């Protein structure tokens, strides 16, 4: 198997991994420093991450029994696949989508069944039902907003999938704060739903690796069974709690990024590229007259790093750019205009 690694190159403008371009506020770091001073580093951490789970449950208006935390939402997905996938089981993914879904499924010995998407890149419930083929152990992996295409799934489609398959339906909501709706609203009525979230994007904590799933207590218990003991360190648990205290600052970052996304989309539309509408903090585009890889290299020569997603099904020649700061967007648009003119 090949590993999954996004290039880490030293550049002036890094817009390839959909991180938040800003740091959390200084008061967050003050709380973190306090937490570090009070840490019982000689002791194992609270295995159940009780305080963090309670804080997350309060944030989402759910019960702590509906929350499981891990080292990034990727590890959450890995726990879900360890618990519900495995040899003899299958996972349904709708391509093009987040490559880690099928990668993690395969790592856990789960067979990957690939469906497609409609012309707007939405998953198609009827096709998913056909691929599940009545198998109540099949796991369906949805992504809303979808990476790398940027579109949120219409609520009706997620509802249709939930009501017509018997197995676990995972909705990866790494970019939820940019989406017009959230599948968390469906948790009460759908015991087979698991919604994954991350602190890596809008919470601006990609460097600390923290994610979680919101689901029925039975799903949470299954994740606890497969997680390694003490998998979530005490410092990270404290960091998550400190982040949640600063929810206002997070919402302000989202508002700034949404404004910046509008400017980025408008700038792209003024250039000879096809642009897809985005419900996330990144935008998918395809140069009309130049090869995508050549444009990726041209941008890199100008110290701007974006993601080459041309290898995904249906995305031949496409690139994905993260919404950055005002200055980063400006530098990216200038570099792209120059590259396309050559």
Q: How far is the CB of 229 from ligand PLP (least distance, A)?
A: 21
The smaller minimum CB distance to ligand PLP, of residues 244 and 340, is found at: 244
Tokens of 99: 């490559």
- Closest residue to ligand PLP, judged by C-beta, is 72
In this complex, which beta carbon is closest to ligand PLP, that of residue 192 or of residue 196? 196
* Least Å from the CB of residue 185 to ligand PLP: 19
Tell me which DSSP letter residue 117 carries: B
Report the nearest approach of ligand PLP to the CB of residue 172 (Å): 5
211-215/67-70 β-pairing? antiparallel
Exposure string (b/e) for 23-45, b if CB count within 10 Å is 16 or more? Answer: ebeeebeebbeebeeeeeeeeeb
Looking at beta carbons only, is 31 or 172 nearer to ligand PLP?
172
Closest approach, Cβ 71 to ligand PLP, in A, equals 8
| Residue ranges that bind ligand PLP, judged by CB under 6 A | 18, 72-74, 98, 143, 147, 172, 174, 198, 200, 206, 211
Query: Smallest gap, in angstroms, from Cβ of residue 150 to ligand PLP?
Result: 11
- Please state whether 29 falls in left (phi above 0), alpha (psi between -120 and 50) or beta: alpha
Nearer to ligand PLP, 60 or 302 (CB): 60
Q: How many Cβ atoms from other residues are within 10 Å of residue 284's Cβ?
A: 27
Please say which residue, 128 or 174, places its beta carbon nearer to ligand PLP: 174
How far, in Å, CA of 139 to CA of 80, rounded? Answer: 9
Q: Mutual orientation of helices 99-107 and 72-84 as an angle, nearest 10°?
A: 50
């Amino acid at each position: 198997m090949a590993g999954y690694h996004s290039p880490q190159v030293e550049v002036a403008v890094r817009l390839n991994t959909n991180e938040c371009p800003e740091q959390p506020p200084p008061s967050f770091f003050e709380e973190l420093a306090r937490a570090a001073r009070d840490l019982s580093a000689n002791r194992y951490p609270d295995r159940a991450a009780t305080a963090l789970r309670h804080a997350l449950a309060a944030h989402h208006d759910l019960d702590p029994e509906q929350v499981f935390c891990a080292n990034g939402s990727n590890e959450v997905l890995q726990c879900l696949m360890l618990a519900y996938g495995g040899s003899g089981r299958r996972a349904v993914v709708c391509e093009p989508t987040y490559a880690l879904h099928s990668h993690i499924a395969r790592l856990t010995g789960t067979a990957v069944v690939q469906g497609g998407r409609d012309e707007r890149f939405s998953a198609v419930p009827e096709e998913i039902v056909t691929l599940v083929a009545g198998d109540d152990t099949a796991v369906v992996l949805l992504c809303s907003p979808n990476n790398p295409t940027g579109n949120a799934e219409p609520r009706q489609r997620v509802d249709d999938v939930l009501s017509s398959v018997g197995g676990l339906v995972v909705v990866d909501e790494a970019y939820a704060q940019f989406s017009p709706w959230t599948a968390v609203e469906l948790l009460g009525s759908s015991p087979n739903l698991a919604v994954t979230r991350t602190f890596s994007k809008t919470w601006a904590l990609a460097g600390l690796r923290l994610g979680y799933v919101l689901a029925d207590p039975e799903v949470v218990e299954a994740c606890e069974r497969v997680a390694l003991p003490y998998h979530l360190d005490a410092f990270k648990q404290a960091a998550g709690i400190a982040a949640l205290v600063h929810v206002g600052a997070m919402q302000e970052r989202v508002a700034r990024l949404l404004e910046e996304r509008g400017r980025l989309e408008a700038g792209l539309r003024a250039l000879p590229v096809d642009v897809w509408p985005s419900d996330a903090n990144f935008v998918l585009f395809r140069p009309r007259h130049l090869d995508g890889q050549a444009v990726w290299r041209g941008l890199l020569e100008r110290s701007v790093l974006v993601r080459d997603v041309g290898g995904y099904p249906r995305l031949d020649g496409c690139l994905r750019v993260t919404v950055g700061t005002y200055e980063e967007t400006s530098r990216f648009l200038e570099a792209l205009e120059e590259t396309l003119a050559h």
